[in-house]
Amino acid sequence: MIFWPLKLALKILSAIISVVVLYYGITVFQVWNTSRLYSPHHADALVVMGTASGYNGTPGPVLKARLDEALVLFQTGQTKVLVVTGGKLKGDLYTEAQASASYLEGKGVPTADILQAGGADSYQNIAYAAPAMRARHIRTVLCVTDPFHEDRSMAILSTFNFTPTPTPTQTSPIKGTATIKYFAREGLAVSLGRIIGYGNLSALTTWFH
């Protein structure tokens, strides 16, 4: 009987771990399920989530795939405003948003139809873009990013009272088993973001960096 407090503590700990694992597993499934959605339709704007810009202002393969998807949707009349996001790291000459805007302009998109916003992560991307989007009375948004990143991106857009629709890139170079670690990471980010808030998660991540 002397060990009953320890046994009780172990049972409680085991129950907590089981709940956490179950919650994480369900979240990863939801992230995966969202990654399979693709619902283009007319919207006030299209947001391209930032990622590494690549080479001296030229979009790398992952960002280029997102921009190409945005370009198709723009050219088919799904939206008239493209919002490109992303800041720059120390030593970079151009922000991700500048690299994206330059690429789209080179493909014939008028400069006036492109909004640029900085940000070091997904939450900041939307936070920095939100004021300019609201100034244009933008409410409905097509969200272009990699499939595994779609769930979190749309959740953040919803946090800022936009109504997002999933339109992930169909040509991402990140495919097959290479996506496993990304889904695992996104599952963790979404799990935490739902509990503590995506803004707090962004602040926490920035603090640790």
Rounded Cα distance, 39 and 143, in Å: 10
Say yes or no to pLDDT of 16 above 80.
Answer: yes
Rounded Cα distance, 2 and 20, in Å: 29
How many structural domains are present in the chain? 1
- So what's the pLDDT on residue 207? 72
- Evaluate if pTM is beyond 0.85: yes
What does the H/E/C string look like for 90-121? CCCCCCHHHHHHHHHHHCCCCHHHEEEECCCC
Q: Is residue 25 part of a domain?
A: no
Q: Is residue 12 part of a domain?
A: no
Nearest to 126 by CA among 152, 95, 99: 152
Say yes or no to pLDDT of 192 above 90.
Answer: yes
Domain assignment of residue 79, given as a range: 35-208
Q: Is residue 28 part of a domain?
A: no
Comparing 22 with 208, the larger pLDDT belongs to 22
- So what's the pLDDT on residue 54? 63
Q: Is residue 3 part of a domain?
A: no
Q: What is the pLDDT of residues 140-176, one digit of tens each?
A: 999 999 999 999 999 999 999 999 999 999 999 999 9
Q: Is residue 99 part of a domain?
A: yes
Tokens 């399920």 — which residue? 33
Give the domain CATH number at 44: 3.40.50.620
Q: Is residue 21 part of a domain?
A: no
Share of the chain above pLDDT 90, in %: 83
Region 100-127: mean pLDDT is: 97
Say yes or no to pLDDT of 49 above 90.
Answer: yes
Q: Is residue 9 part of a domain?
A: no
Q: Is residue 20 part of a domain?
A: no
Rounded Cα distance, 60 and 53, in Å: 6
